[in-house]
Amino acid sequence: MRRLFIIMLAVVLMACHTDAYTAGKKDIGRTLIAYYSYTGDCRAIVSELAGQAEADVLEILPAEKGLKYDADGYILGTQLLSAIKADPYNADSYPAIDPTGEDLSLYDNIIIVTPLWWSQMAAIMQTYLFSNADAIAGKRVSLIVSSHSSPISGVEADLRRLLPNATWTGSPLWINSGNRSNTDILLGEWLNMQEFNTQPQETMKINITIDSRTMTATLADNSSARALYEALCSEPMTYEAHDYGNFEKVGTLSQSFPQNNEQITTQPGDIILYQGNSLCIYYDTNTWTFTRIGKIDNTTQQDIKDFVKAGQGNVSITLAVSNATAISTAQDKNADSGMTYTAGGMRADSTAKGILIKDGKAFVSK
């Protein structure tokens, strides 16, 4: 079984506590450190990291124990990576791992600590991220890579493919044979440069309705998604969408939104903003430069195709905030006039950040 626990001392995988030691840890918000370690190097990094910052720790373990991924010139490890590369959007391409019991909704930041295998992310860690991509969507993600001497650009590319809807906290940290003896110093400097979310924010969720059927979607953490969410807090939005390229349903919105364009390879369920005012719901893959808005929650490619009526002509799509009823109820109370609320309908104080509601109007507090 994988183990979820808090490391209180810089001793590998021990759960001890002293007030004096804990007091010196850096506050990085609600954070999970997820790691896989084959040789023990990543485990040592995590031990030091958890000694410097308050975080829960999750070890990722392969389902099949005792395998020698590096034997005979890394034959087995290479086979696992080749299977993923051949069909990266198929769950069957990934090696099995032990089940986990963690609740990712409890965390705003995820730190990934992984070894490098032949210039790619270790296959075991890839399985974990592929399996939990929806749950990590919208969270802030950091990367620490351990290798002997190979550069880590391939691991970065794997992470962006596996977690397309995450927000990066900053540059990754590369720990290798040349700097490993300074791991404690490197981690301290790296922690100070990361933009962790230390003010828990509510996940932005919307409802998408087509012909009386509704699916929920989790929005990305960027200015484009926040602007759309803010608009939907005022009123729902309906637009007509058509098929394009046998991979998306796209339509023009009633207003334009900020763009955060990047090169993206879409997956089924991705919600994409194109040229600021066209919203696309993808039911197949495509690579282009555009803005990520979010992803439909917990569904399959076939279900997405059925939902958007892929290949069947135009559909009317309505977007609305998932918890709009709760917000409306809070705002309608006469006694609460002038009060400020979170997007979830909870009363907010003057320090609250994110999308807030006051006198029936949404605004973003930073």
Degrees, nearest 5: CA angle 130-134-137: 110
pLDDT score of 200 more than 80: no
Helices (H), the chain: 19-22, 41-52, 71-86, 123-131, 133-136, 153-162, 183-193, 223-234, 301-308, 324-331
The whole-number pLDDT of residue 334 equals 40
Question: pLDDT band at residue 324, thresholds of 50, 70 and 90?
Answer: very low
| pLDDT greater at residue 296 or residue 343 | 296
143 beta partners: 112
31 beta partners: 109
Can you tell me the distance from the alpha carbon of 338 to that of 38, in angstroms, rounded to the nearest whole number?
56
Question: pLDDT band at residue 322, thresholds of 50, 70 and 90?
Answer: confident
Task: Decide yes or no: CATH 3.40.50.1860 for domain 4-193.
Answer: no
| pLDDT greater at residue 11 or residue 36 | 36
Question: pLDDT band at residue 135, thresholds of 50, 70 and 90?
Answer: confident
At residue 204, φ and ψ (nearest 5 deg) are -85, 115
Mean pLDDT comparison of 18-22, 110-114, 164-168, highest-scoring range = 110-114
The whole-number pLDDT of residue 333 equals 37
The mean of the pLDDT values for the chain is 85
Mean pLDDT of 186-209: 89
Question: pLDDT band at residue 77, thresholds of 50, 70 and 90?
Answer: very high
The whole-number pLDDT of residue 63 equals 96
Select the CATH number that applies to the domain covering 205-322 from these four: 3.40.50.920, 3.30.413.10, 2.40.100.20, 3.40.640.10: 2.40.100.20
Same fold, 4-193 and 205-322: no
| pLDDT greater at residue 366 or residue 305 | 305
pLDDT score of 231 more than 70: yes
| pLDDT greater at residue 326 or residue 236 | 236
Residues with Cβ within 8 Å of residue 168, at least 6 apart in sequence:
140, 141, 142, 143
Q: Where are the domains of the chain?
A: 4-193, 205-322
| pTM for this model (two decimals) | 0.58
Degrees, nearest 5: CA angle 45-48-52: 135
HSE-up of 66 (CA within 13 Å, CB side)?
0
Can you tell me the distance from the alpha carbon of 42 to that of 147, in angstroms, rounded to the nearest whole number?
9
